[in-house]
Amino acid sequence: MAKYIIKGGSKAQGEVTISGSKNAALPIIAATILNGGKTTLYNVPKIHDTEMMFEILKKIGGKVTKKENKVIIETSKINKYEIPDDLMRQMRSSVIFVGSIVGKYKKAKFSYPGGCDIGTRPIDLHLKAFEKLGINISKNYGNISCSCDRIIGENIDLEFPSVGATENAILASCLAEGKTTITNAAREPEIIDLQSFLNKMGAKIKGAGSNIIEIEGVKHLKDVSYNIMPDRIEAGTFLCMAAMTSGNIKLKKVNPSHITPIIDKLEEAGCKMTIDKNEIDIIAPKKLKAVDIKTMPYPGFPTDMQSIFATILCTAKGTSIIVENIFENRYKYVQELIRMGAKIKIESRTAVIKGVKKLYGANVKATDLRGGASMVLAAIAAKGTTTIENIEYILRGYEKFDKKIRDLGIDIKIEE
Ligand code: UD1
């Protein structure tokens, strides 16, 4: 297992270019199955999670050719309809393949994704959406089979605006007969990106970004090329890196409108931001002010930024209160921050953070992807050297993370 070794105490200063969005790339890669042809994707982040998606595509008969961030995917020879168990276990979001496989071939098999690092993460809403479309689901000792003769458009009312269930419902209904309407749909920007991609492929979808999405089924989809949107959580992570180290950073290739709640909270904490069309400049104060945060589905404050914000508030002036409303187990990283001198108390879904003067270097572990990024921020701001173990979690979602950080003047090394 690899480690980061970070010498703390420097300000994060300079420019950083934001990569393509992980959470937009994953469903779009799955969606390439639907045209049974050629897709060229640009701005695909080179991270572990996209690699896993390509592995699954290759296992079921797809062809993947990569050149840096450009990826050509050929899906005309897909001949297996099962997501391999080991890959399903390694990446929970591989469930996003099911909508495409069943949407295209009217059958799919996969194993039940277990609990994960941030909560139980059930898939009942995905399965209910499939059933609404006339897809039969049978469960057998942890394996799930989907099958049907036809997929017929229907009204799908989601009990909760789940991102994955909304995406899977869209993917399963693009080639359906008739019209599907998803109500209480998730409104995340990544769903708009999926809609734009599929419409470019010839699908007829409207409404993404609102809570009602309408999909008019089409018979065929065509070859397509598409540029993936920027990663809003990576953007938020680098803004927070500047905020925590009294630094100043220019973010390039970012979409500021996707991160309004993050910008608002950073301004409330005392940061000065200059916002352009695709760039953001942040200048952080000597000391941040405490702020309160509650995570909510988009356009609320994103749960994926919860641990990162909690980390920067560890050294803010005053007491901050955080409420995690999306996942039930997203405070594992707190134990690691406490090792570094943070004062945090957890009570169910609430974290109370009492700002301390400084954090101190320690040996800590990444507990999950965003919890791991939080450790990196804490280490950069801390006095002394920090060793972060289990950085594989971080590499799932951040492209060239150590290089981008080093370019901001920080002393970070990887040790195998
Ligand atoms: C996606 C993102 C993830 C982000 C999350 C919430 C991807 C690859 N991942 O995950 O980074 O943190 O959105 O913004 O895009 N739920 C159910 N039943 C279901 C599905 C979900 O109860 O069938 C619950 C989950 O346990 C969770 C909540 O709904 O408590 C939100 O989950 P969901 O929006 O589905 O998240 P993901 O799509 O898994």
Query: What's the whole-number average pLDDT of the chain?
Result: 96
Rounded CA-CA distance 332/364 in Å is 12
What band does 240 get if pLDDT is binned at 50, 70 and 90? very high
Quick: pLDDT tens for 329-381.
Answer: 899 999 999 999 999 999 999 999 999 999 999 999 999 999 999 999 999 99
Question: What average pLDDT score do residues 46-52 get?
Answer: 95
Q: Is the pLDDT of residue 115 over 70?
A: no
Which of ligand 1's atoms lies nearest the C-alpha of 128?
A: 23
Tell me the sheet residues that pair with 351: 322, 346
The answer to whether residue 116 is catalytic is yes
Q: What percent of the chain has pLDDT over 70?
A: 99
Structure-block tokens of residue 41: 């994707």
What is the sign, positive or negative, of the torsion defined by CA atoms of 254, 255, 257, 259? negative
Q: Which residues line the pocket of ligand 1, CB cutoff 6 A?
A: 23, 26, 93, 119, 121-126, 160, 162-165, 186, 190, 303-304, 326-327
Atom of ligand 1 nearest to the CA of 160: 29
Cα-to-centroid distance, 94 and ligand 1 (Å): 13
- The number of the ligand 1 atom at minimal distance from the alpha carbon of 92 is 39
Alpha helices for 258-416 (secondary structure H) = 260-268, 306-313, 334-339, 369-381, 392-395, 401-406
Q: Tell the residue nearest (CA) to atom 33 of ligand 1.
A: 162
Q: Tokens for 83?
A: 């997501």
**How many A from CA of 286 to the centre of ligand 1?**
36
Rounded to the nearest angstrom, the distance between the alpha carbon of 145 and the centre of ligand 1 is 21
Q: Residue 119 CA: which ligand 1 atom is closest?
A: 26
Of 116, 146, 148, 174, which residue is the catalytic one?
116
pLDDT over 80 (residue 116): no
Percentage of residues in the chain having pLDDT higher than 90: 94
- Cα of 177 vs centre of ligand 1, distance in Å, is 28
